[in-house]
Structure formats: structure tokens, C-alpha cells
Chain A
Amino acid sequence: MDKETRDMLLETAGRFFTERCDRAVVNNVEKGEWPADLWKEIEEMGLPLIAVPEDKGGVGGTLADMLALLRLAGEHAVPVPLAETALANLLIAAAGGEPKPGPATLALGNLKLSGGRLTGKILRVPFAGVAERFVCVVDKTLVVVGKGAAKVEATPSHAGEPYGSVTFDNATAEFSGASAVSAERAFELAAVMRAMQMAGAADRVLATAVEYSKQRVQFGKPISTFQAIQHMLAELASCVAATIASAEAASRDADEGGLADGGAFSIAAAKSQCSDFAHRISAIAHQSMGAMGFTHEHVLHHYTRRLWVWRRDFGSESFWGEKIGAAYAKAGPDALWPSLSASRYPA
């Protein structure tokens, strides 16, 4: 997708999200309602097929195009599995399959495949409660299992989205094919996807807090005129900028390096960094908004609660930090700078 096309798509999608993902829609998802109309419109716009090639009925965008869209979705707390479905469809197409309509999600982790049947249990699968199908990568095989062949125990996330654990017990595949990516890589791609959503949500948290500070009057003036608030929001801006910068750098590296293994280290570093800063970002934003920001009425929690959930999805800072730390320790001190400055794991 050239830059102009991407900008146009993002602008259209941004306008659409602003109009259709309002507070009520997000809150209703939390009450357990599935926004069927919203999903239908998202599909009509082709968004879940953004990174599926045109000859497979997709939009023909790159991984980077998809990730840019998902940052935007994060900025609007879009309460449907657009991210999960877009990545699932990309992986299905890359494995020679035909993406189908309907919400999908990723069930990534320790699974066994034998005789074409899938066995194992994955915890905290995003949108497990509403997904039509689950996409898994086992060894070098991509397996798609329909919801009828899986057992889902719903445990909504702390942001109120229908997460849950998924059990496959000798489940039959709806589709299976040679995966374009390893299981580990699928997890990495899911991590950069979440990092970009976190970047979007963090951006919105900053905008919300800055806006509020200009409107809220205490002691006869907007609180934005208090130096304490200015400095808090400046620190917030730094944490948000770092979140966005790391996610964008990882997104670029993942895209440029190719689907199979591009930007492996950058993704790990970015997801660690984004997860790490989620705490400071939400802590400062909430502090600066007083009781109002702590209400269910205000939208701030749509973003801060997602940050708290997303930082744990597809590897927390502990997970990715350990992976980076173990690799760098193994290579020893002399490899530190050459590897870090090349954005890669030590050889």
C-alpha cells in the first residue's frame, strides 16, 4: 500500500472508529454484548483483511499497514477482535488458506498436533468468548479450529473483554497448512500487534489527560496552569512517546525484515518497554484527573484498563525481558553494544 492509500485508509478508519466506537459500545461489550453491527461494518470496510493479498480477496496491505491500523484501533479502544482477526487472516493466507468472515483469534502456546488433531489448553485467549475460530501454530503447521470443536471457558479480561481459556481435546481442524511462520514467530507477531495497540491507547491517555487539565478549574484557574500538573503531564508525555517510538520501531523492523523473522529483537524490546511503561502512564494520568478519572462514567478507564491487560498479553515485560536478558548474558559483555546498536539478539 503506498503512503497515500494508507493515509486515506487510516483517515477513513479513524473517522469510522470515532463515530461507531463510542463510550456506550465499549461499555456494552463489558456487559457481555457482542456489537454485531460494528463488526459487520468493520468487515464491510475490509479491515480484517488488510494484510491479506488481493488475489485472496484481501486489501493487499503489508504487515506495517496492518500494524498502523491496529495502533489506530488501540487509540479508539475498538472492543472487537480486529487485531486478532487481521493477524489470523494474514497467517491463514500465508499458509495457503482462504480467510473466512467472522471474528477469529489466536490461541498460541503449548499444543500438540497428532494425526491432524489438536490437543492442549491455552489460557487468556483474547476474545475467546466471541471468536468463530482459533488460529494456532504447532511446529511448522498452521491449524484453524472452529469454535464448535473447542471448549471455551469465559474469563473476561480486566478490561471487560471476552477473554477465556480454550481447550482442544483431539480437536479436528477446519483448515491446516504449512505455516509461513514458526510458533515462536506467531507469538512475536502477536506481541508487536499488541505493542502497537498499546501505543494507540497510550496516545489517547495523554490526549485525555492534557485536555482535562485545560478544562478542570480549581483555585480559580485551570489545573494545567499548576506547575506540578505540567510536570506530571510532561513525564506522561515522555512515557507515551517512548511507548509509541518503541512500538513503531519494532513495527518497521518486523515489516522490513520479512514475515518469517524480521525485527525479532526489536519486537521483544518494544513489548518489554511498552509493558513496562503502562504502569507509569496510567498512574500519572489517573493522578492528574482526580476522582473523575476513576469513575466508570469517564472514558479514561477504557484505555488504562486495556493497557493493564495488554501489557500481559503475548508476553509481559518479564517474559520478553528474560528472553533478551538470557540471550545477552549468554553472549557476554563484549557483544552488548554491537548487538544493541544493530537492534538484534547477539549471534
Chain B
Amino acid sequence: MSIPKLEFPPFHLPPEAEALRLEVRAFLKEAVPRIKTEDRFASWNTPSPEFSRELGKKGWIGITWPKQYGGSEKSFLERYVVTEELLGNGAPAGAHWVADRQSGPLLLRFGSQEQRDAILPRITAGECFFSIGMSEPDSGSDLASVRTRAEPVPGGFRVNGTKVWTSGAHRNHYCITLVRTSGQHGDRHKGLSQLLVDLKTPGVTIRPIINLAGRHDWNEVTFTDAFIPESCLIGNEGDGWLQVTSELAFERSGPERFMQNFYVLRELVRVLGRNPSGRAAAILGRLIARLWTLRQMSVAVAGMMQGGKSPAIEAALVKDLGTIYQQDLPEIARVISESDATTEDDMADFLDIAQYATMMAPSYTIQGGTTQVLRGIVARGLGLR
């Protein structure tokens, strides 16, 4: 009896990463309270260009990239530590997050020299922010069905179509956009390409889409005969699918998939007070144990990536477990706080937090690949499909 093994061998972050952790922590202790943001509880999707610039000055954006682009040529594990410290300390790291996590690495791997020279130094300086232009009204989980069309014209492409759920497009500079450059709608993975779209391009219109919590994070980005120069094609024409899937691996594997609402756990500790009932302590401890386990698994994935492997299935598995945990957390925390909060004031405050977290929770298991899409990937890893 043998099935493919999905193992997460325990992995130690190396001493240089742990040393960097202390440095980052000391910086955040000073910077996070100083920098005002619109959110009371900041996370990886709370933007603050001011914060990103300061982080850029420290050399902590694009930390693994070559020095010629302002990177520090540090390991993937050091990047891991920076990201988890940002999350663990409630830093408003949203402005540069996508550029650091996936757009920059994509350009490094597939972009032209001209694109790299023009863009990467601005990303590492914390001055250039990216959106993801994948989803469309008729293409969500089934990403290969995108219809946005880039028709080759002299000197570039004429683009028509609509992207939706484009987070941050109203604030960011660029959007890496998945388009069809050749073939027909039904061709699936063939004929797709990625374009580096300057969001100020004439013919590109950005309209807000408001989410259920009343926030404007999302946008609809419409292309109407927008001209995109040939120099903005990323990689080869027709390689878009391959490139976009490599981008998704970066998108799925990070600690933001289980630490997005870390503030709930933190505030739960506060509201339960220093001496909670045995029942409340047990519930808190079980949540901490779950988070600890996720972290062990995620660090193991980082170790595999550093070791040159591409643990796509393992990353999907951790994202599945992590997002479900994030969804459970506000609910469990609310229930226990209702019976065990120390004071009425603390309680009112905490319910406010839990309420906000509850409203955000449905998004975790949708963005970056739904639970069902992830389980499909894991099932394939088990040899079931």
C-alpha cells in the first residue's frame, strides 16, 4: 500500500534569519505605532506607502533579489522571517506586498532587461506597487478561460476586456495582466500572455467595487482600445499560462495565509485577561497550538523552496488549512469572549474587532484559489485525479 507522501520535514530557520528577525522586530516596534493607517488592525492588505518606503530604505523589500536592483541577495528564508514579522507585529505592509511577493520575482524570472532595470529598483525602494490582473467577470477559478484580448498592432498590442476584483488598482502603479494574444477563447492554456500594464495608460478605466464590509479594496479595470507597447510584454508571447502558474506558487505559500487576522488572537489574549478560566485557557491554547502547527508546516515549505524544490501541492495544503483556521478564529474567539471577557469595556471593544474579522473571513477561502480549487490540487497530489 503506497500513496504519494505529503511530508513537511521539520526545518530550522538559519541563525542569520533569526538575527534578522530581531532587527526587523526592533524596527517595527518603533515604526508601527508611529505610522497612521486607515485600519485599526493592519495586515498585509493594509496599504501605507509611507511605511513601504521606510521598509524599502531598510533593504527589506525584494530582499532576495540581486543587488543591482536594490536587493540584498539574501535567502528565501530571510524573506520568510521579514514577512512573518510584518504579520506578527501588525505592520501596514499592503502597498508593496504583491510586488515583493510575486510581481518582482516574476519580472526577475521572465521580464526583459529593460523591464527589470526600469521597475525593480523602484519596487525595492518601496515606491512602486503592483496589482494582479487575472480574474474577469467570466473567469474566476477557471482562469484559463480569460477573454481580455490583446491584439498585436504595430509597436505593441491593442487591449480590450475587463478585469475584476483587482485589489489596489486605484492606488497602484502597475498591473500584471493576463490576456489572450493569439488563438481563440476556447484554446485554454495556449495563446495567453502577460502584459506589464501601467495603470495610467489611456483607455484603462478603474472603477471601485465595494466589498461587504464597505471597504474599497477591489476594482473593475476596463480596457478600451488601450495601447500597450511591445516592450511591456513579459516573457514570450504565448507563455502566459506557464508564467501565471509560477506566480501562483508564490501567492499561495506564505504565512499571510494563516496570519492575516493574527490581531484577533492577540486581542483575544488581551480580553481574556491574565488569569482566564480553565475552559477559556484551553480554547485559547488550542488555537495557539493550531497556529503553531501551521507555522511549522509553512516554515517547512519555505525550507523546501530554499532547497530548490517547488512544493506546489504542499503550499496548496497549507493554504487550505491556514485559511480555514483564519475563518474559525473570529468565531471561536467571539464565543469564548462572550462568556469570559474580563470587563464590559474590553468586551465591547473586542466584539467590534471580532465583528470586523467575521466580515472579512469569507474572503480568505476564496482569494488566491478557493478551498475547492486547492483541494483539487491536493487530490491530484494524492493520485486521485
Contact A329 B276 (CB under 8 A): yes
Q: A244-B8, A248-B9 are in contact. Are A224 and B274 (CB under 8 A)?
A: no
CB of B360 closer than 8 Å to a CB of A: no
Min CB distance A284 to B, Å, is: 12
CB of B198 closer than 8 Å to a CB of A: no
Contact B274 A329 (CB under 8 A): yes
| Stretch from A101-109, A174-182, A183-191, A269-277 that touches the partner | A269-277
CB of A210 closer than 8 Å to a CB of B: yes
Which A residues touch B382, using CB under 8 A? 210, 233-234, 237
Residue of B7, B84, B265, B278 touching A244 (CB-CB under 8 A): B7
Contact A241 B285 (CB under 8 A): no
Contact A237 B285 (CB under 8 A): no
Q: How would residues 236 to 276 of chain B score, 1 for a CB under 8 Å from any chain A CB and 0 otherwise?
A: 00000000000000000000000000100111011011111
Q: How many residues on chain A are close to B (CB under 8 Å)? A: 58
Contact B269 A329 (CB under 8 A): yes
Complexed CA–CA distance, A317 and B288 (Å): 11
Contact A330 B286 (CB under 8 A): no
Which B residues touch A252, using CB under 8 A? 10
CB of A337 closer than 8 Å to a CB of B: yes
Residue of B276, B293, B384 touching A242 (CB-CB under 8 A): B293
Contact B384 A337 (CB under 8 A): no
Which B residues touch A230, using CB under 8 A? 375-376, 379, 384-385
Min CB distance B120 to A, Å, is: 29
CB of A213 closer than 8 Å to a CB of B: yes
Which B residues touch A208, using CB under 8 A? 1
Q: A233-B384, A320-B285 are in contact. Are A325 and B280 (CB under 8 A)?
A: yes
What residue of chain A has the Cβ atom nearest to residue B292's Cβ?
Answer: A269
Contact B285 A325 (CB under 8 A): yes
Complexed CA–CA distance, A323 and B295 (Å): 20
Residue of B3, B282, B293, B375 touching A269 (CB-CB under 8 A): B293
CB of B32 closer than 8 Å to a CB of A: no
Complexed CA–CA distance, A213 and B267 (Å): 43
Which B residues touch A248, using CB under 8 A? 8-10
Residue of B88, B269, B290, B321 touching A238 (CB-CB under 8 A): B321
A50-75 residues at the B interface, CB under 8 angstroms = none
CB of A309 closer than 8 Å to a CB of B: no
What residue of chain A has the Cβ atom nearest to residue B88's Cβ?
Answer: A337
Q: A207-B2, A333-B270 are in contact. Are A328 and B9 (CB under 8 A)?
A: no
Residue of A273, A321, A338 touching B281 (CB-CB under 8 A): A321
Q: A233-B379, A273-B289, A322-B285 are in contact. Are A333 and B296 (CB under 8 A)?
A: no
Which B residues touch A251, using CB under 8 A? 10
A80-131 residues at the B interface, CB under 8 angstroms = none
Contact B266 A245 (CB under 8 A): no
Min CB distance B357 to A, Å, is: 15
What residue of chain A has the Cβ atom nearest to residue B290's Cβ?
Answer: A273
Residue of B7, B25, B265, B384 touching A336 (CB-CB under 8 A): B265
Complexed CA–CA distance, A332 and B281 (Å): 12
Q: How would residues 300 to 326 of chain A score, 1 for a CB under 8 Å from any chain B CB and 0 otherwise?
A: 000000000000000001111111111
CB of B184 closer than 8 Å to a CB of A: no
B273, B293, B314: most-surrounded residue (chain A CB, <10 A): B293
Min CB distance A214 to B, Å, is: 8
Contact A245 B297 (CB under 8 A): yes
A327-343 residues at the B interface, CB under 8 angstroms = 328-330, 332-333, 336-338, 340-341, 343
Complexed CA–CA distance, A211 and B284 (Å): 37
Complexed CA–CA distance, A269 and B276 (Å): 19
Contact A326 B285 (CB under 8 A): yes
Contact B89 A330 (CB under 8 A): no
B1-41 residues at the A interface, CB under 8 angstroms = 1-3, 6-10, 21, 25
Residue of B1, B281, B283 touching A207 (CB-CB under 8 A): B1
Q: How would residues 268 to 293 of chain A score, 1 for a CB under 8 Å from any chain B CB and 0 otherwise?
A: 11101100100000000000000000
Min CB distance B170 to A, Å, is: 32
A231, A241, A273: most-surrounded residue (chain B CB, <10 A): A241
CB of A27 closer than 8 Å to a CB of B: no
Which A residues touch B267, using CB under 8 A? 333
Q: A237-B382, A325-B282 are in contact. Are A246 and B293 (CB under 8 A)?
A: yes
Identify the B interface with A (CB < 8 A): 1-3, 6-10, 21, 25, 84, 88-89, 262, 265-267, 269-270, 272-276, 278, 280-286, 288-297, 300, 314, 317, 320-321, 372, 374-376, 378-379, 381-385
Please list 23 pairs of residues, one from A and one from B, whose beta carbons are closer than 8 Å in the complex, sorted by A's number: A213-B384, A230-B375, A230-B384, A234-B317, A234-B376, A242-B294, A242-B321, A245-B296, A265-B292, A270-B289, A272-B289, A276-B286, A317-B286, A321-B282, A321-B289, A322-B278, A328-B269, A328-B288, A332-B270, A336-B266, A337-B266, A338-B25, A341-B84
- Known: A231-B379, A246-B292, A324-B289; 18 extra A-B contacts, CB below 8 A, are A230-B385, A234-B378, A235-B320, A241-B297, A244-B7, A245-B10, A248-B9, A268-B285, A276-B286, A276-B289, A320-B285, A326-B276, A329-B269, A332-B270, A333-B269, A333-B270, A337-B88, A341-B88
